[in-house]
Amino acid sequence: MAGQLCPSHRESGVIPGKTWRVVAGVVTMGVICVAAPSSAQPESQRPTGQIPDRGRPTERGDEIPLFDYDAYFPGTWEFEWRVPESPLGSGGLIEGTEVFVPGVDGRYYSSRIVARGPDGDFTTDSRIVYLAEQKTFSRYEVDSRGFDLFRVGRIGGDLGGFYTVHYETPPFDVDGQQVQLRMTTRLVSPVNFRVESRIAVDGGPFTNFGTAWWTKNLADLASPN
């Protein structure tokens, strides 16, 4: 009779026309269960901020932790920097990588830049001293374009988790001209920092020398369990 189930369907509990919907639902759930762990894995590898989770909103009297260099910098960073013409080289885009090497005793570090600019490829090797208790940075750079520079600065932070380093160089010689730089490094996230630069030549006023962005390469942080 129309509208009745045949015995085989009653025994199996399967309703005609509904079989594929049930199967499709099971298959879809299976895919979700298998895929979820693999998609979540890289997220757990991402660096985190340095302000502790107190389980409540921050308050004015909360202590700002000392900046942890080893938790932030070591690794490979990619950067872009568009600069104007200056005694340091032609104007245009500079692109490259900077590899920060972990320190020996929490004070002495190094890094190496490999980059390409308007005048071709170049490298910069740096020796870095960070004194956490004094909140000071010193950085001596040897640039393959034919000059060395030394910059020093202080680092400060806020309860939002943002740290800023204010650098300045003494005047240094580049092809007979005296150059001085002021650089503000803003650590805006665990995987990005921005460098705002100003330059003075032969005792003249400081002018804009471009803003660069560094982005951490997270691929070399992931490790299989």
Model confidence at 31, pLDDT cuts 50, 70, 90, reads: very low
The architecture (CATH level 2) of 69-221 comes to Beta Barrel (2.40)
Q: What is the mean pLDDT of the chain?
A: 81
Kindly tell me if the per-residue pLDDT of 11 is higher than 90. no
pTM (predicted TM-score)? 0.73
Backbone phi and psi for residue 219, each to the nearest 5 degrees, phi listed first? -60, -35
- Residues 6 or more apart in contact with residue 107 via CB below 8 angstroms: 129, 130, 131
Q: CB–CB of 62/54 below 8 Å?
A: yes
CA 64 to chain centre: 21
Domain residue spans in the chain? 7-44, 69-221
Q: Per residue in 176-209, pLDDT tens? A: 999 999 999 999 999 999 999 999 999 999 999 9
Please state the rounded mean pLDDT for residues 133-152: 97
Name which of 89, 158, 72 is nearest 124 in CA terms.
Answer: 89
Which stretches of 47-191 are DSSP H helices?
69-72
Measured CA distances, 68 to 125, 126, 172 (Å)? 22, 19, 30
Measured CA distances, 184 to 15, 158, 181, 213 (Å)? 70, 16, 10, 12
Kindly tell me if the per-residue pLDDT of 16 is higher than 50. no
Q: Per residue in 38-85, pLDDT tens? A: 444 444 455 655 555 557 676 666 778 899 999 999 999 999 999 999
Q: CB–CB of 85/91 below 8 Å?
A: yes
